[in-house]
Structure 1
Amino acid sequence: MANLKEVKERINSVSSTQQITKAMKMVAAAKLRRAQDKIVQMRPYSQKLTSILNNISSGTEGSTDIVYAEEREVSKLLIVAITSDKGLCGAFNSNILKASMALIEEHKDKEITLMPVGKKALDYFKKRSFPMNADYAKLFEDVSFDPVKEAAEYVMKSFVAGKFDKVLLVYNEFKNVATQSVVKEQFLPISKLERQEGDSRPSQEYIVEPSREYIIEELVPNSLKIQFYKAILDSNASEHGARMTAMSKATDNAAELLKELKLVYNRTRQAAITNEILEIVAGANALEGN
């Protein structure tokens, strides 16, 4: 049977851990509220811009004058893996790393470069000696549009210069506190809308003001930057949701473990008291016998 002192130490240790996980859950909940508000407000705007962008690149004039829609044979691939800076958020980071490794395996015949965003992705790929650009690994130190815009501009300029033929984003899309789904999204070239067989609906037409050239020069780059920013916001909200869920489960597990330990402690204490009583009775009987 366990020693009373050992059980008491375990109870104190689990109780301290429970207080920490409870505090981390509350912090994650506060951060999640702000991050959730940002992505909920950004998502409709980003989706509509992306839809317009895809329609323009699929128009009758084609995408020959949109450099970001140029499709070419893929020999050089950039994978942007978006994780968090910290752990203790369940399978949040491991799911992204697994999905990224699956993409690497799928395109192993190509020249692959990695762009880790988040310290977890940076540390993981550093150990595996993959070619990478780590200049934008610390975007989550300041989740705002300006630093994310710089990262998006680097990716866009590299694509136009022919450094990469295709760019894929791998990140967690925020659904709710308990659900985050891994997304593998083509960032560049801009995807075209494919008409499904039997679809007789006419494609959307837009009246372009002041000119198509202006739209291409201004709207297309800004839309891509916003799309990149949305992925960062999605990942940020997903991280806090995953951490809140993980800390909630850890707190509940600690409570269950405390119940078991206290039961063991009480049983051990009762057994010790019973043994002491038996020893006293045995000693008294021995004295009477003498």
Structure 2
Amino acid sequence: MANLKEIRNRITSVSSTMQITSAMKMVSAAKLKKAQDAITAMRPYAEKLTELLQNLSASLDGDVGGEFTTQRAVRKVLIVAITSNRGLCGAFNTNVIKEVKNRTDFYAGKQVDVFAIGKKGNDVLGKTCKITDNQSAVFDSLTFENVAEIAQQLTEMFISGKYDKIELVYNQFKNAATQIVQTEQFLPLAPIVSEKAASTVDYIYEPEKEEIILTLIPKSLKTQLYKAIRDSFASEHGARMTAMHKATDNATELRNQLKLTYNKARQAAITNEILEIVGGAEALKG
């Protein structure tokens, strides 16, 4: 059994760790509320924009997506890996990295590069994959304008023919305890087919429907990327809050066990001292 000093030092160390994890949990909980409100408010807009694009496309003949819907033989693939800049968030980053590696294996024999958004993904994937760019700084100021610049960069890569396909891999926020890894095709746009029949109402469009679609597509791509990063950002704080909550509970349990062990060791030491004193007194009487 460890001596009393060693047990005291361990209790102090565990208590300090518990204070840190508890503080990180509270910080993540505060940030999660804001991030959750942002993604919850954005989803209806993103879904309505997609629905509008589908309804317009359903009433048109032929391919009106132009360069955004060009289907080419897939030889060069770019995977956009959206992770976090910080750790201590459970399996949040590991799940995305694992899915990126699975996609790399899926495209075996083809050129597969990674576009990193987040330092953790960049550090790990950089050891096995080719990183074309790292846009981790976007989390320092997560605004639509900053994300739109990244979306424009990705779009230009596709239009120029540098890549034949671009995919997004990220964690979708469901709740604080659940994040779902998603793989979405960013470019080329999948053929847009409306599940509902086109509206029979005869609308007057200004400008023409084709021009509206070509204007909506770039906006829709920017919104899709912004939504993915917002989802990942909310998921990160949810995962960190859950991980720190579990760490705090484990530290509390360990501290209680150490205190029990310490009390037992101290009681045993006191008992031994009493026995020695009594034995010494009896020896003097003899």
Task: Give the TM bin, normalised by the shorter chain.
Answer: over 0.9
Distance apart, 1:140 and its partner CA = 1.3
**Pair 53,70 (structure 1): closer, same or farther in 2 beyond 3 Å:** farther
Number of equivalenced pairs: 284
Matched with 2:114 is 114
* Alignment counterpart, residue 202 of structure 1, candidates 193, 197, 209: 197
| 42-51 or 239-248, which deviates more | 42-51
Matched with 2:131 is 132
Q: Secondary structure at the match of 2:130?
A: coil
Matched with 2:143 is 144
Distance apart, 1:124 and its partner CA = 1.1
Provide Cα deviations, 1:229-252, integer angstroms capped at 9, x if missing partner.
000000000000000000000001
Matched with 1:159 is 158
**Pair 185,205 (structure 1): closer, same or farther in 2 beyond 3 Å:** farther
CA RMSD between the two structures: 1.8
Instruction: Give the letter for the 2:266 counterpart.
Output: R
Matched with 1:171 is 170
Distance in 2, Cα, partners of 1:182 & 1:205: 39
Distance apart, 1:55 and its partner CA = 4.7
Distance in 1, Cα, partners of 2:275 & 2:170: 65
Provide Cα deviations, 1:18-53, integer angstroms capped at 9, x if missing partner.
000000001101111111111001111112212333
Matched with 2:49 is 49
Matched with 1:186 is 185
| 71-80 or 95-104, which deviates more | 71-80
Could you tell me which runs of 5 or more consecutive residues in structure 1 were left unpaired when the two chains were aligned.
none
Identity over aligned pairs, percent: 53
Matched with 1:7 is 7
* Kept after mapping to 2: 8 A contact 1:148/1:229: yes
Matched with 1:226 is 223
Matched with 1:269 is 266
Instruction: Give the letter for the 1:150 counterpart.
Output: E
Distance apart, 1:60 and its partner CA = 4.3
TM-score normalized with structure 1 length: 0.92
Provide Cα deviations, 1:198-248, integer angstroms capped at 9, x if missing partner.
xxx525578443212431332111111011100000000000000000000
**Pair 97,73 (structure 1): closer, same or farther in 2 beyond 3 Å:** same
* Kept after mapping to 2: 8 A contact 1:57/1:69: no
TM-score normalized with structure 2 length: 0.94
Distance in 2, Cα, partners of 1:163 & 1:141: 29
| 272-281 or 203-212, which deviates more | 203-212
| 211-220 or 270-279, which deviates more | 211-220
**Pair 100,65 (structure 1): closer, same or farther in 2 beyond 3 Å:** closer
Q: Secondary structure at the match of 1:80?
A: strand
